[in-house]
Amino acid sequence: MKRTLFSFAVLLLAAFNYASGQDLKLNDLEYFERQGVNILVYSNLFTGGFNDEKNAGIELIHHGVRTAQGGAVRLSNTPEQWDLVPAMSNRKVDRASQTIETTLGYKEYDFDSRVVVTAKGKGVEIAVYLDKPVPKALEGKAGFNLEFLPSQYWGKAYLMDGRPNRFPRYAVSNTVTKPNSEKIKQFKGYVTSDDRGTGKFIDPLPLETGRTFLLAPDEPGRLVKITSPDADLMLFDGRMLAQNGWFVVRSLLPAGKTGKVLTWTVEPNAIKSWVREPNIGFSQVGYIPAQPKIAVIELDKKDKPLTKASLYKIGDDGNATEIFSSKIAPWGNYYKYNYVKFDFSSVKTPGIYYIQYGKVKTNNFLIENNVYDKITDATSDVWIPIHMDHMFVNEAYRVWHGEPFKEGYRQAPPNTDHFDLHSQGLTTDTKYKALELIPGLNVGGFFDAGDFDIETGSNISVVQNFVQTWEYFKPLRDETFVSQKQRYVDLHRPDGTPDVLQFIEHGTLNLVAQAENIGHMSQTLTNSVLDNYHHLGDAASLTDGLPYNPNLRPYEVAPDGRSSGVKDDMWAFTSRNPGLDLSAATMFAAASRALKGYNDDLSARALQQSKRLLKEATELLANKPQNEARREGSSADISTNLQLYVSTGEQQYINKFQELLWPGLERNLNFNLLTALNAIPHMDAAYKEKLRPYVVKYNDYIKGLEKDNPYGVPIGLSNWAGNGGIQSFGTTVCFANKYFPDIVDASHAFKVANWLFGCHPYHNYSFVATVGATRPKAVFYGNNRADFSAIPGNVAPGVLFRKPDHFENYDDWPFLWGENEGTIAGNTGYLIFGSAFKNLVK
């Protein structure tokens, strides 16, 4: 044991010898910084809508990777996503004392704390202050937590008071069960784990306890030292309760005390003279010979740019030869990093290539005429059919899921404030009573994303994307067997019908059922209990498939096997939204055209509902204040009237379309231009000429993006990464180039493709699963995320912006949906962009 401890001491000393002498300083962006270490203090906040998203509070960006977050008084050892989070009411930055102070509170317990973070040499001191003692109900439960990213620490060693151990790759620590009466109130009163009638909940026990904790002394780039003079440090594995849990370092707050009640010192190691390795952004899919080929190289600001980069071609003998080199062109700083560009557009010879910049060499890519031919195949052949709801989905030897939700959907009770931002208003807005079964809804539709609800707004846009793909490009690809009668889907098995047409039918079936049985569009069809909402695995096992029977005991099944005592039936949230009805009317009008001749009955029903919803929604909006009505309905109304005109040829609809379009373009050109372009085939030459000045204005916007960022695309900076907006931009560019090639150049569409396939910040992986032969992203937030895997064809939201200056996209940790969750709306948005882009390339 003495030899072991001595070895770890030597290892620790060697690790700290890497550290530079530079102290942490509070910078102009209001976070603590030294080369290789950034400590953010509530630059990003916990949210009340999704609670603990693992991207808020005190965050450590350690040698370029955000490895820690949280840093708040929390009410359990390993908080889950939907557990209560403190709201920040105040944040003060004192440059003189190098201090950031935040006031955090739990209104549910009238409990506030102040967290004060102060620069101390190479680390920070974190102190917790209380003006009032910990409430009795929270004694022994309230503690200060800081959480560390498991994927950056599993397999690495740690020392607690000199005792060596290792972070586990898989969660295998100990737990105890406690009575539910001891459990702290969860989000809106919903429990986060099903106790199956035991009346008890699971509570993890600490892996270790002590006063000095060293994380990863065997890895200088992840080494962090935490000490506390006045409280024990406990290490927990949050994955014991939830697969998205992090390693938690925690100290309980003392009972009955006020003032400064807890002190930690946190010292992240900084490798001496560390400079982030250049990230060479390029297309993993490759390039066609004729297109622009520009790599964007992301550099640490302390990294002196080299003068040139080179392109190597791999020969038939396996040897690489430098065939092109060129000076790099500086672009400048964009948030945290500096950017330069390497233009190798002049290289047009087909072959296998890689880029070399200094010591950094990319993986190989192709230059060939056919590189884009299959970019949408995985999405349409695999990801989309896997997300078909109310169907048994099979792929070769694998069952992706059985038939979900056979028991149907019940009316959500009035005045219900639910999780995931769902709510039911003061009334049901339907003829159904609370918890009454609404017939006919368990048909068709698509899972929203990594969860299994049907988000109506998303499903509307999905069908619209399918219809647009079908009408413009008529993809006849048939790789999926779909039987609505059998409720069965089989991948890679042609059935004689184009897949996109069957997808249109499947989406329309559920949406028409909503319109017919509810009377308007629901907000969502979703889980009634939180335990089901975060379900991972087979959707068919999310509920028991049997209607709830209140006359049965909990978990009892009726003798006839047709009902159960399990309160797991799905709910329909039915508060009426005229804007949503207008969007549905748009989609129904378009779907009716596509379905004509394939499913004439559904086509007729869709058109009928389109006309009815347009009439009723228009009347409802007319009774609202003008600004509210415009916000809810005007853009959708433009599209609705266009689609109804195309479907019916009735002049009233095109007159209304023209009346609404031009003011709509003035208000929001970027949003409405694609609709205006879609109208061109159905309008006269005068219409196209009237649209021309708006396209010119849009082209000015496109050119401005070149000055905005080094990638020349509209990068989103919200808490959901921006690939959806970039795809929409790309689709608009494709159609603008189609109709106005003299104004909008095709090269801008290639920038979007490059971004999606690897030319973006943080890393250079393709954002589309399995697309990009050498290095697509490996893990995504899908319903199989616990397997650290990907569903082929999934499209990630992209690089997530963390205020004030950090972009990230984890490829070893799938559980942050804002950067890794593919959605049915986003992935069908990729389908329409990919189809338009392939058409442009041809």
- Averaged pLDDT, 194-217: 90
Characterise 415 by phi-psi region: left (phi > 0), alpha (psi -120 to 50), beta (else). Answer: left
Looking at residue 635, its pLDDT comes to 60
Q: How confident is the model at residue 191 (pLDDT cuts 50, 70, 90)?
A: very low
List own/partner pairs for 225-230 with CB under 8 A and 24 or more apart.
Answer: 225/123, 225/265, 225/266, 225/267, 225/269, 226/146, 226/264, 226/265, 226/266, 226/267, 227/264, 227/265, 228/262, 228/263, 228/264, 228/265, 229/263, 230/262, 230/263
Predicted confidence (pLDDT) at residue 10 exceeds the cutoff of 50: no
Looking at residue 765, its pLDDT comes to 98
- Averaged pLDDT, 427-450: 97
- Averaged pLDDT, 491-500: 98
CA distances from 356 to 315, 333, 352, 711 (A): 16, 22, 14, 20
72 versus 633: which is more confidently predicted? 72
- Tens of pLDDT, residue by residue over 572-618, are 999 999 999 999 999 999 999 999 999 999 999 999 999 999 999 99
The 3-state DSSP class for residue 575 equals: coil
- Tens of pLDDT, residue by residue over 155-174, are 999 999 999 999 999 999 99
- Tens of pLDDT, residue by residue over 543-557, are 999 999 999 999 999
- Tens of pLDDT, residue by residue over 706-737, are 999 999 999 999 989 999 999 999 999 999 99
Predicted confidence (pLDDT) at residue 148 exceeds the cutoff of 50: yes
Looking at residue 220, its pLDDT comes to 98
Degrees, nearest 5: CA angle 816-727-348: 110
Q: Which of 13-17, 20-24, 231-235 has the lowest mean pLDDT?
A: 13-17
How far is the C-alpha of 84 from the C-alpha of 48, rounded, in Å?
Answer: 8
- Tens of pLDDT, residue by residue over 800-835, are 999 999 999 999 999 999 999 999 999 999 999 999
459 exposed, middle or buried (CB, 10 Å; 0-12, 13-18, 19+)?
A: buried
- Averaged pLDDT, 321-325: 98
Looking at residue 465, its pLDDT comes to 96
Q: What DSSP character marks residue 780?
A: -
Six token digits for residue 614: 């347009």
User: Is 812 known to be catalytic?
Assistant: yes
CATH of 2-172+209-268, one of 3.40.50, 2.60.40, 2.60.120, 2.70.98: 2.70.98
Q: Out of 80, 451, 637, 821, pick the active-site residue.
A: 821
Q: Where are the domains of the chain?
A: 2-172+209-268, 279-367
Looking at residue 630, its pLDDT comes to 63
How far is the C-alpha of 663 from the C-alpha of 682, rounded, in Å?
Answer: 20
CATH of 279-367, one of 3.30.70.3270, 2.60.40.10, 1.10.3720.10, 3.40.50.300: 2.60.40.10
Looking at residue 47, its pLDDT comes to 86
Looking at residue 6, its pLDDT comes to 41
Q: What is the largest CA-CA distance in the chain?
A: 90
Looking at residue 190, its pLDDT comes to 43
Looking at residue 51, its pLDDT comes to 86
Q: Out of 650, 659, 666, 812, pick the active-site residue.
A: 812
How far is the C-alpha of 528 from the C-alpha of 171, rounded, in Å?
Answer: 29
User: Is 110 known to be catalytic?
Assistant: no
Q: How confident is the model at residue 11 (pLDDT cuts 50, 70, 90)?
A: very low
Q: Which of 187-196, 583-592, 624-633, 745-754 has the lowest mean pLDDT?
A: 187-196
Q: Are 73 and 64 in contact (CB under 8 A)?
A: no
Global pTM reads 0.94
- Tens of pLDDT, residue by residue over 326-358, are 999 999 999 999 999 999 999 999 999 999 999
